[in-house]
Amino acid sequence: MPRGKNQKRKLFVLLRFLRSESDEQHPVTMRQLLAALEREDITAERKSVYDDLETLRELGYDVIQTEEQPAGYFLGAREFELAELKLLVDAVQSSRFLTEKKSRDLIDKLERLESRWQAGALRRQVHVADRVKTMNESVYYSIDTLHAAISQEKRVSFRYFEWVVPEDGSSFRRQFRHGGAKYCVSPWALMWDNQNYYLVAYDGAAGRIKHYRVDKLDSLSLEDMPREGQEAFADLDLARYAKSVFGMYGGELRYVGLRFASSLAGAVADRFGADVLLARDGADAFRVTVPVAVSPQFFGWLAGFGSRAQLLSPPDVAQSYAAWLRETLAALPSASE
Quick one: DSSP state of residue 171? S
Residue type, 225: M
- Per-residue pLDDT, 229: 92
Query: 73 and 22 in contact (C-beta within 8 Å)?
Result: yes
- Per-residue pLDDT, 130: 47
- The low-confidence residues of the chain, meaning pLDDT below 50, are 1, 128-130, 335-336
Name the helix (H) or strand (E) containing 89: helix 82-94
Q: Could you read off the pLDDT of 112-135 as tens digits, one per residue? A: 888 888 887 776 555 544 455 565
Residue type, 285: A
Decide: residue 263, CB within 10 A, 0-12 exposed, 13-18 middle, 19+ buried.
exposed
Q: How far, CA to CA in Å, does 290 sit from each of 179, 208, 243, 251, 324?
A: 38, 21, 9, 14, 20
Name the helix (H) or strand (E) containing 315: helix 315-330
Task: Report how far residue 36's alpha carbon sits from residue 16's, in angstroms, rounded to the nearest whole number.
Answer: 10
- Per-residue pLDDT, 302: 94
- Strands (E) across the chain are located at 63-66, 72-75, 154-164, 173-176, 183-193, 196-203, 208-213, 217-226, 253-261, 278-280, 285-293, 309-313
**Which CB contacts under 8 angstroms, 24+ apart, belong to 176-181?**
176/218
CATH topology of domain 139-236: SH3 type barrels. (2.30.30)
CATH of domain 253-330: 3.30.70
Task: Report how far residue 321's alpha carbon sits from residue 84's, in angstroms, rounded to the nearest whole number.
Answer: 44
Quick one: DSSP state of residue 181? P
Nearest partner of 295 among 337, 250, 265, 259, judged by Cα: 250
* H helix runs in 95-227, sequence order: 100-111, 116-124, 139-152
Report residue 157: phi and psi, to 5°. Answer: -125, 150
Task: Report how far residue 203's alpha carbon sits from residue 155's, in angstroms, rounded to the nearest whole number.
Answer: 10
Distance of CA 49 to the CA centre of its chain: 43
* 313 strand-pairing partners: 257
Nearest partner of 268 among 286, 247, 250, 241, judged by Cα: 286
* Neighbouring residues of 77: CB distance < 8 A, sequence distance ≥ 6: 62
Task: Report how far residue 227's alpha carbon sits from residue 16's, in angstroms, rounded to the nearest whole number.
Answer: 45
pTM over 0.75: no
- Per-residue pLDDT, 336: 43
Query: 21 and 31 in contact (C-beta within 8 Å)?
Result: no
Task: Give the Cβ contact number of residue 115 at 10 Å.
Answer: 24
Task: Report how far residue 275's alpha carbon sits from residue 239's, in angstroms, rounded to the nearest whole number.
Answer: 13
* 176 strand-pairing partners: 161
CATH topology of domain 7-75: Arc Repressor Mutant, subunit A (1.10.10)
